[in-house]
Amino acid sequence: MTRHTEQQAMTMPDPFAYRRAADYVAAAMIFLRENVLLEEPLRREHLKPRLLGHWGSCPGITLVYEALNSLILDRDADVLLVTGPGHGAPAIHANLWLEGTHAHYDPALGRDAAGLRELSRRYCAPDGFPSHLSPAVPGTIHEGGELGYALATAFGAALDAPGRLVACVVGDGEAETGPTAAAWHSPKFLDPASSGAVLPVLHLNGYKISSPTLFAAMSDAELTALFTGYGWDPQIVDVTKDPEGPRLAEAVADAHTAITRIQHQARSGATPPSRPAWPMIVLRSLKGQGAPAEVEGTPIEGTFHAHQVPLPDVHDDPEQLRALEAWLHSYRPQELFDAGGRPVPEVLTAVPRDGRRIGMQAASNAGDLRRPLPLPPLGQPAVRLTEGRGRTLASPNKVLGGWLAGLMDSTGERRDFRIVSPDELASNKLDAVLRATGRASARPVDAYAEDLSRDGRVMEILSEHTCQGWLQGYLQTGRHGLFPTYEAFAAIVDSMVNQYAKWLKMSAEVPWRAPASSLTYLLTSEGWRQEHNGYSHQGPGFIDNLLTKHPSVTGVYLPPDANTLLAVMECLLDETGKVNAVVSGKHEAAQWLDLEEARAHCAAGAGAWPWASRTSGPEPELVLACAGGIPTVETLAAAQLLNRDLPDAAIRVVNIVDLCALAPPERHPHGMSDDRFTTLFGTDTPVVLDFHGYPAAVHQLLHGRPHPGRFHVRGYVEEGTTTTPYDLLADNGTSRHDLAATALHHLRAGHPGADALADGYAAHRDRLRTEIRRTGQDPAEITEWRWTP
Reduced to 3 states (helix: H, G, I; strand: E, B; else coil), residue 446 is: coil
Report which residue type is found at 666. E
543 and 569 in a single domain? The answer is: yes
Q: How far apart are CA 277 and CA 230, in angstroms?
A: 9
- Amino acid 224: pLDDT: 98
User: What percent of the chain stands above pLDDT 90?
Assistant: 91
Q: How far apart are CA 74 and CA 248, in angstroms?
A: 14
Q: How far apart are CA 342 and CA 37, in angstroms?
A: 10
Reduced to 3 states (helix: H, G, I; strand: E, B; else coil), residue 580 is: strand
In a domain, 112, yes or no: yes
Minimal CA–CA distance to 382: which of 370, 391, 392, 368?
Answer: 392
Residue 9 has pLDDT above 70, yes or no: no
Q: 557, 589, 621 — which closes off a domain?
A: 589
Output the domain CATH number for residue 714. 3.40.50.920
For residues 182 and 150, is the Cβ–Cβ distance under 8 A? no
In a domain, 597, yes or no: no
- Amino acid 656: pLDDT: 98
Domain with 755 in it: 606-783
451 and 568 in a single domain? The answer is: yes
In a domain, 598, yes or no: no
- Amino acid 391: pLDDT: 96
- Amino acid 10: pLDDT: 43
**Per the structure, how many domains does the chain have?**
3
405 and 533 in a single domain? The answer is: yes
For residues 594 and 563, is the Cβ–Cβ distance under 8 A? yes
Q: How far apart are CA 730 and CA 144, in angstroms?
A: 45
Q: Residue 386: exposed, middle, or buried by beta-carbon count in 10 A (0-12, 13-18, 19+)?
A: exposed
Strand order from edge to edge, sheet including 554-557: 452-453, 439-440, 458-460, 417-421, 480-486, 519-524, 579-583, 554-557
* 214-233 pLDDT, tens digit each: 998 999 999 999 999 999 99
For residues 520 and 580, is the Cβ–Cβ distance under 8 A? yes
Q: How confident is the model over 448-452, as a mean pLDDT?
A: 90
257 and 393 in a single domain? The answer is: no
684 and 574 in a single domain? The answer is: no
* 553-607 pLDDT, tens digit each: 999 999 999 999 999 999 999 999 999 999 999 999 999 999 999 999 999 999 9
Q: 554, 589, 624 — which closes off a domain?
A: 589
Q: 538, 561, 589 — which closes off a domain?
A: 589
In a domain, 2, yes or no: no
Higher pLDDT, 367 or 421: 421
DSSP letters for 97-113: HHHTHHHHH-GGG-SSH
| 50, containing H or E segment | none
Give the CA dihedral 664, 670, 676, 679, nearest 10 degrees: -80
Q: How far apart are CA 347 and CA 336, in angstroms?
A: 7
33 and 121 in a single domain? The answer is: yes
Residue 272 has pLDDT above 90, yes or no: no
DSSP letters for 190-244: --TTTS-EEEEEEEE-SBSSSSB-TGGGS-HHHHHHHHHHHTEEEEEEE-SS-TT
Residue 6 has pLDDT above 60, yes or no: no
Intra-chain end-to-end CA distance of the chain, in Å: 103
Q: How far apart are CA 468 and CA 557, in angstroms?
A: 20
- Amino acid 8: pLDDT: 38
State the average pLDDT for the chain. Answer: 94
| 459, containing H or E segment | strand 458-460
| 420, containing H or E segment | strand 417-421
In a domain, 600, yes or no: no
**Cβ within 8 Å of residue 692, ≥6 positions away:** 526, 528, 540, 543, 558, 583, 627, 628, 629, 630, 631, 715, 716
357 and 381 in a single domain? The answer is: no
* 41-64 pLDDT, tens digit each: 999 999 999 999 999 999 999 999
Q: How far apart are CA 565 and CA 394, in angstroms?
A: 12
Output the domain CATH number for residue 283. 3.40.50.970
For residues 129 and 123, is the Cβ–Cβ distance under 8 A? yes
In a domain, 557, yes or no: yes
Q: How far apart are CA 472 and CA 519, in angstroms?
A: 8
- Amino acid 12: pLDDT: 52
685 and 717 in a single domain? The answer is: yes
213 and 306 in a single domain? The answer is: yes
Reduced to 3 states (helix: H, G, I; strand: E, B; else coil), residue 666 is: coil
Reduced to 3 states (helix: H, G, I; strand: E, B; else coil), residue 458 is: strand
For residues 309 and 30, is the Cβ–Cβ distance under 8 A? yes
For residues 397 and 586, is the Cβ–Cβ distance under 8 A? yes
In a domain, 596, yes or no: no
CA angle 335, 299, 215 (to 5 degrees): 95
- Amino acid 13: pLDDT: 65
Strands 197-204 and 622-627, by their bridges, are: unpaired
Q: How confident is the model over 548-557, as a mean pLDDT?
A: 97
39 and 183 in a single domain? The answer is: yes
- Amino acid 646: pLDDT: 93
Q: How far apart are CA 734 and CA 354, in angstroms?
A: 61
Residue 11 has pLDDT above 60, yes or no: no
- Amino acid 775: pLDDT: 97
In a domain, 595, yes or no: no
pLDDT band at 245 (very low <50, low <70, confident <90, very high): low
Residue 417 has pLDDT above 90, yes or no: yes
- Amino acid 657: pLDDT: 98
107 and 168 in a single domain? The answer is: yes
182 and 37 in a single domain? The answer is: yes
